[in-house]
Structure formats: C-alpha cells, structure tokens
Amino acid sequence: MLKNLSALNQSITLAAWKVVSRKWFAEKEKGQTLSEYGVIIGVVVGVVVVAVVISFRGQIVAAFQAATNALSSAR
C-alpha cells in the first residue's frame, strides 16, 4: 500500500511540476516576445529617423544657418 501511495505522490508531484513549469515558461516566452517587438520597433524608428534626416538635409542645414545668422546679427 505504501508503494502505491509513494508512486501516486510522485505522479501528482510530476503533474504539478508540469503545470507550474508550463505556466512559467509561457510567461517567460511572453516577455521575450515583447522585448523582441521592442527591438524591432526601435530599429524601424531608427531607420525612419535616418531617412528623414537624409531627405531633409538641405532644409535642416538652412534652418540652422538662418538661426546662426540671426543670433550673430543680434549681438
């Protein structure tokens, strides 16, 4: 009888471990997926910023030059 009880206890412990570990790994996977999405969004934003700066390079330089000239003439 004790051998059967011991085997039953081991089976329950194993089943409980499977449930807990499955839940833990599922939560860990969600966090990993979220961080991967964050990295992808960061890369896309970086590419967009670089593309905008390259596209409007002339206007940006002109705006800074106008501001510099205005500050220089204000002295």
**Spans of all domains in the chain:** 2-73
The residue among 16 and 61 whose pLDDT is bigger is 61
Q: What is the DSSP letter of 74?
A: T
Q: How confident is the model at residue 1 (pLDDT cuts 50, 70, 90)?
A: very low
How far apart are the C-alpha atoms of 26 and 7, rounded to whole Å?
28
Q: How confident is the model at residue 26 (pLDDT cuts 50, 70, 90)?
A: low
The residue among 70 and 28 whose pLDDT is bigger is 70
Instruction: Of 26, 23, 24, give the one whose Cα is nearest residue 34.
Output: 26
Angle at 31 between CA 25 and CA 37, to 5 degrees: 135
Using the predicted structure, report yes or no on whether residue 19 has a pLDDT greater than 60.
yes
